[in-house]
Structure 1
Amino acid sequence: MDAPPLNEDELNEIYNWVDTIPLSRPKRHIGRDFADGVLMAEIVQHYIPRIVDIHNYSLAHSVQQKQYNWNTLNTKVFRKMGFQITQKDIDAVISVVPEAVERILKVVQVKISMFLDNKEQNQIHQQEKPVEVQQNQNKGSNKQAPNNKSNEKDLIIQDQKETIEILELKIQKLEQLVKLKDSKIQQLMQKLQQAGIK
């Protein structure tokens, strides 16, 4: 989804909202502060800790690492919240386009609120369910229990798939680093040989 433009009141509301959240880095320039996606992950973790593994996001200066952080956020976190942002918006945030991050913060704020509302409704529904299950069992029907078990299995499988995807991304990253180090070692060896040192 495209993040919509904001008016002045909405911008001020976003700045005030961000100021209420404890973040690991002081906010100096909101566009640059959020460019690598780490603080965005921290905001979601503050409200919905169970869907964010903060270790997946590292402080980044390179565009490649920033892209990695935002793509991980998009596929592993925002998707669970029921939305994903466009590559155009990700690029705008990484390039520190004015108000790009504020627009995404607004979307995230709304989606966090919706996610927490749904969670609350689900909890109320879950609290009511045992009575229904009891009634069904009294009638000699316990069809509901296997359903719950299959839902739990589906959730566990989904979580495991996502964990595997994250680990695969990490492996790719490590492989790239190893290749970089190997090429640097080769360059140094060549320089030593050229200098007559073996």
Structure 2
Amino acid sequence: MARVIEAPPLEEDEMQRIYEWIDDVPLSRPKRNITRDFADGCMMAEVVKHHYPKLVELHNYPQAHSIQQKLNNWNTLNVKVFRKIGFQIARTDIDKIINCEPEAVEKVLHLVQEKLEEFKERKSDEPSPPQADRLQGLAKPKGQPQVEVRVQPNNAIREKEQVINELRETIEIMESKIAKLEQLVKLKDSKIQILTNKLTAAGLS
């Protein structure tokens, strides 16, 4: 299971390297204020997609103005992207970014940069899969018919596992959204009760 990590504080030179790293990424929106630019998670999704296009589907991250939609984008990043890389961003850091706290974005960007580099090293260390065509068409001795050797790939199993993982991710995202909606309903019920009490008190007086 991916570990939830809080972004550590940065030195000034580390901060500068983050700005240089981001400058190399072609973003869909011009950078004006990095604290606000990254608040909804969309640009973070673009940064990861620039390095690993297959990990990110940008349509999952609509530009957002409400706190709830921004939180949804970051939760989706955590579940669908960062967990595959091997970590997840702490909720406290997400809240700081959404609320545009100074240096919150830079700290998380530095964490993401480190994890992307670690992910790249792990991928480069993985052995390349055997080529099926090397085992096909093996020659038989003269006078005997040539037999085609077929390799039964594990693609079907991998596809099923991928479908299962995607369904789990979707369930986690939906559970998160349901929990937030339940909180909103409770908050509205509380406000309604307060207004009802005030109206009752006013009527009695």
Instruction: Please tell me whether residue 53 in structure 1 is matched to residue 60 in structure 2.
Output: no
Q: 2:98 aligns with which of 94, 101, 105?
A: 94
Q: Structure 1, residues 146-167: CA drift from partner, whole Å, max 9, x if none?
A: 767644532343235435766x
Question: SS of the residue aligned with 1:79?
Answer: helix
Instruction: Please tell me whether residue 69 in structure 1 is matched to residue 73 in structure 2.
Output: yes
Partner of 2:202: none
Matches within 5 A, 1:143-154: 150-154=157-161
Q: Does the CA contact (< 8 Å) of 2:79 and 2:172 recur in 1? A: no
Q: Which has the larger radius of gyration?
A: 2
CA distance in 2, matches of 1:55, 1:149: 27
1:76 Cα offset (Å): 1.0
Instruction: Please tell me whether residue 7 in structure 1 is matched to residue 27 in structure 2.
Output: no
CA change 1:49–1:146 in 2 (3 A) is closer
CA change 1:164–1:49 in 2 (3 A) is farther
Matches within 5 A, 1:166-177: none
What is the TM-score when the length of structure 1 is the normalising length?
A: 0.70
Q: 1:106 aligns with which of 79, 85, 110?
A: 110
* RMSD over aligned Cα atoms: 3.1
CA distance in 2, matches of 1:26, 1:147: 44
CA distance in 2, matches of 1:71, 1:161: 14
Instruction: Please tell me whether residue 162 in structure 1 is matched to residue 169 in structure 2.
Output: yes
CA distance in 1, matches of 2:95, 2:116: 22
Aligned length: 163
Structure 2 segments unaligned to the other structure (5+ residues): 136-150, 179-205
CA distance in 2, matches of 1:54, 1:148: 26
Q: Does the CA contact (< 8 Å) of 2:79 and 2:169 recur in 1? A: no
Partner of 1:125: 128
Q: 1:41 aligns with which of 38, 45, 63?
A: 45
Structure 1 segments unaligned to the other structure (5+ residues): 135-143, 173-198
CA change 1:49–1:14 in 2 (3 A) is same
What is the TM-score when the length of structure 2 is the normalising length?
A: 0.68
